[in-house]
Chain A
Amino acid sequence: MLPFFQLLKKIIQTGIGKGRLAMATVGLGIAMVLLLIAFQAHTNFNQLLHGQQNQNESADFLVVNKKITNDMMGQSARSMFTPEELAQIKQQSFVEAAGYITSSQFKVTAAAPGDLQFYTDMFFESVPDSFIDVRNEAWQWQEGSTTIPIILPNDFLNLYNFGFALSQSLPQISQETVKNLPVKITISKGLLSAQFTGRIVGFSDRISSFLVPASFMSWANNLYGNGTATAPSRVVIKTSDPANPALVQFLDDHGYTTNQDKIKYSKTKLIVQTIVSVIGFFGVVLLLFALLVFSMFIQLVIASCKKEIQLLVMLGAAPRQLRRHLMRQLAPLYLVTGLLALVLVTALQWWAARTLAAHEMFVSPWPGAGTLIAAAVVLLLVYWVNSSSIRKYIAQNS
């Protein structure tokens, strides 16, 4: 240190406010830890929900329908979405894309080929291709083609393999086998009928229905349907965050329902958000108090050295030099405090990452960028408040 500043240390005694300084430092430390924890908890929760390792691929798509209640039974029109309702869904900020599921307006029967004794009535539905989780070159249909690609729900095969087949002593079937089985499909409306070969091209986790390409559906509905397009009763929405409480609120408000499993995080998220906000709020309040005490400490020190400061200025010490001296006394203190808070939060984060990893939940063992930025912002704020109160009180007393 320059000899001049060493001498200043003897003249401008900071010992008088030691208690206050300790209080301010402790307050700042606790405030920083609380704030950083709040930021880090927020980052961690987001990582748990959206991180690559924790990603549940189908969680981004929700199939939404109206709740079927007892007094709606028998009135299928009441479960349909009107164009206004569809437009309203599309307008919501949490909906990135929405498409409706089109049902077939004709009868469908499926029969197994050869001497396999299998025949069933069934139905088809279609959705826009961008909502389908099966990427397959075979997934296309052009007018004139006699082969229809079909996507089955994964659950359907599971029901057969683990429910039906076992109980009836029938063979379990692999996905590959199913894909190789051509199915005889007959679609009809009154006397009109047409025959196709159905090929299973994939299994979907996302949409629980028998899906055919949209091009086939519109062609067939045109030809074998009743001529008027029916309103959809199920809507697929794409959302970046199925745990968004606003989404859940929207569904509840409109009597819509969806796969509850996919939105189960929203309650947890709401709780975590509240806790994080409360911690953050206390952090901010404490930080403000710490800043106040810092400022009072500075005022006290400068007021108690008023005469000395005046004489120093009289002798030619520049106010800038005095400010620098005082900042040098304070800055290491809160830099170290900030660093300690950061180290503590890093340790906590490392511990949390280890604990969560034991439960197959993965978060980074290091504090996030947001936390580091928050620490830097708090330190800058403290620096700014301190330097401006030093500036103010030195100007008043010189």
Chain B
Amino acid sequence: MQIQLSHLVPLPLRDKLLQRDSDIWNKEVSFTPGSLVKIKAPSGTGKTTLIHYLYHIRYDYSGKVLVNGQPWQAYDKETLAGMRQQQFSIIFQDLRLFDQLTALENIELKRTMTPKPYCTKEKVQEMAARLQVSHVLPQSARTLSYGERQRIAIIRALVQPFTWLLMDEPFSHLDEDNTQRAAGLIAEECRARQAGFILTDLDNDQHFDYTVYHRL
């Protein structure tokens, strides 16, 4: 699934961004399927905004986001839902878990959203064990620490099929060890699906063998 950006500029940041030199904003950019993309940018330059544009939950931009040659707007809501179940997975910066559900239920919600779940319950337990959050699975998401929530959000993003994984500062609240484990799991899961990812972060890092670097 090809993603192309064509002169994409966020309307609220327009004046500020056009004065900066960027690899993404107001450029023709193409993300090849399967590539591991790192987008590095300081705060306030629109990382989250870009991820939201790519995932089509914000629309205040000029230019185009093309998915398989079609602008996002060409897809109807049902098709969009299908793509979010099968093609695009996401780890939000603000995680967006349901507080009224337990950690496990948050994962199950995503896993069972498709009639035929992509991975088994055991696989979920295995991933939780790898990220050392097995013990918090039965707890309400409300009671978890931010780091624990972040790892639950990562697992939730990995229980579905996808060709692109969008990550918005996914390790912001994890220590070095946990980051290594999470990055290892993500890399494995992407390989298993032959999927690519787009990751935004503040700094340089060596968590993945990135194929493309961009500065926002």
Contact = CB atoms under 8 A, between A and B. Distances in A.
Interface of A: 2-4, 7, 10-11, 308, 311, 313-321, 395, 398
Contacts, number: 56
Contact of A311 (B81, B96, B108, B160): B96
B109 interface: yes
Contact of B81 (A4, A316, A395): A316
B82 A10 contact: no
B101 interface: yes
B74 interface: no
Size band of the interface chain B makes with A: 20 to 34
Which secondary structure dominates where chain A touches chain B? Answer: helix
B77 A311 contact: no
A11 B81 contact: no
Given A10-B101, A311-B96, A314-B96, A3 B57 contact: no
B81 A319 contact: yes
A311 to B, nearest CB: 6
Contacts of A2: 112, 115
B82 A315 contact: no
Given A7-B101, A308-B98, A319 B109 contact: no
Given A3-B112, A7-B105, A311-B96, A398 B77 contact: yes
A318 B81 contact: yes
Contacts of B115: 2
Nearest to A4: B112
A318 B96 CA distance: 18
A315 B110 contact: yes
> Ordered nearest first, which 6 A-B pairs have the shortest CB separation?
A316-B84, A318-B81, A4-B112, A316-B85, A3-B112, A7-B109
Interface in B90-123: 96, 98, 100-101, 105, 108-110, 112-113, 115
Contacts of A316: 81, 83-85, 110, 113, 160
Contact of B108 (A3, A314, A318, A398): A3
A7 B78 CA distance: 20
Contact of A317 (B55, B57, B81, B105): B81
A320 B80 CA distance: 12
A315 B109 contact: yes
Nearest to B56: A314
B31 to A, nearest CB: 20
A4 B84 CA distance: 16
Contacts of B96: 311, 314-315
A227 B101 CA distance: 104
B37 to A, nearest CB: 21
B78 A319 contact: yes
Contacts of A320: 78, 81
Given A4-B109, A313-B77, A315-B113, 12 more contacts: A2-B112, A2-B115, A7-B105, A10-B101, A10-B105, A11-B101, A311-B96, A311-B98, A314-B96, A315-B96, A316-B85, A319-B78
A313 B81 contact: yes
Contacts of B108: 3, 7
Contact of B112 (A7, A311, A395): A7
Interface in B38-69: 55, 57
Nearest to A394: B77
B82 A318 contact: yes
Nearest to A5: B112
29 contacts: A3-B112, A4-B109, A7-B101, A11-B98, A308-B98, A311-B96, A311-B98, A313-B81, A314-B55, A314-B84, A314-B96, A315-B84, A315-B96, A315-B109, A315-B113, A316-B83, A316-B85, A316-B110, A317-B113, A318-B77, A318-B78, A318-B81, A318-B82, A318-B85, A319-B77, A319-B78, A319-B81, A321-B81, A321-B113
A256 B208 CA distance: 104
Nearest to A2: B112
A4 B108 CA distance: 8
Contacts of A3: 108, 112
Contacts of A317: 81, 113
Nearest to B92: A314
B115 to A, nearest CB: 8
Nearest to B98: A11
B142 to A, nearest CB: 13
B100 A10 contact: yes
Contacts of B81: 313, 316-321
A277 B100 CA distance: 51
A77 to B, nearest CB: 82
Contacts of B105: 7, 10
Nearest to A11: B98
Most buried by A among B98, B100, B110, B113: B113
B205 to A, nearest CB: 27
A317 B113 CA distance: 7
A56 to B, nearest CB: 63
Given A318-B81, A319-B77, A11 B100 contact: yes
A314 B57 contact: yes
Nearest to B96: A311
Contacts of B112: 2-4, 7
Contacts of A313: 77, 81
A391 B15 CA distance: 40
